[in-house]
Structure formats: C-alpha cells, structure tokens
Amino acid sequence: MTRLAKRIGIFLVAVSLSTVRPYPTAHGQERSQDKALQDELAEAGRAIVKDKCARCHAIGMDDTSPHEQAPPFRDVVTRYPSENLAEALAEGIVSGHPDMPVFVFQPEEIEGFIAYLDSLSPPTDK
C-alpha cells in the first residue's frame, strides 16, 4: 500500500469517527428535543384546527363530526399523507363540497396543522 493510500485511509477513518456521537446520550437528547418541538407544533396546530375546522370536522380521536359529510381528521390522515396537504394549505384548500370555505394558511400555520394531523396518525412500527 502506498503512503498516499494510507494517508487517505487514515483521513477517511478520522472523518468518519469525528461524526460519530455517543448514541444513548446524544441521540436521546436530540430525540427528546425533536419530540418537544413536534409536541409544541402539534399544540399550535390543534388551536388552528379548533378555531377553523372544528365547526364541521371531528378533530379528536373519538369525537363525531358536526357536519355529517365532513370526515374526522383522524380519518383524513389515513387517506392522505399529511405532507401532501402542505401545498394545498398554502394555496387555499378547496374541497368538492360547496359548504367548505376556502382557507389559506401561512407557512408556520401549515407546519402546526401538519404536526397536529401527524399526532392523529396511527402509530407505525419502527
């Protein structure tokens, strides 16, 4: 093996080791911070949904939609991936039903709205 190849190998090992973090502590802290942020966003989204959507849609895990043709949000998340709704929320979500008003959300509202929908999603196996 040439000196250059050895140096490249040592450099690659050093770079890869420099990016490794202790799994239990660092990963757990990062995960905890991500969870806290998601919970905060979901709570902001719940407030938006309660204000703008609850008059027609069921917004919880076991309530009934006040408007019989408005699907509960817990069902919406099983039909449509929440991330696919972001563009529609930004441009003005329109449904085929004439009773539903057009809503246009700001980016931070969309983030909260989607976080709330995600909180209603059935748990996934990981």
Q: Which domains does the chain have, with CATH numbers?
A: 32-120 (1.10.760.10)
Q: Which of these ranges, 1-10, 20-29, 42-51, 95-104, has the smallest mean pLDDT?
A: 20-29
Instruction: Determine the average pLDDT of the residues in 35-49.
Output: 94
Residues contacting residue 113 through CB under 8 Å, at least 6 positions apart: 45, 48, 49, 85, 89, 105
| Between 53 and 82, the higher pLDDT residue | 53
Helices 107-120 and 28-52: angle between axes, nearest 10 degrees: 100
The mean pLDDT of 44-53, rounded to a whole number, is 95
Q: What is the pLDDT of residue 112?
A: 94
Helix (H) or strand (E) run with residue 114 in it: helix 107-120
Between 91 and 41, residue with greater pLDDT: 41
Partners of 103 in the β-ladder: 93
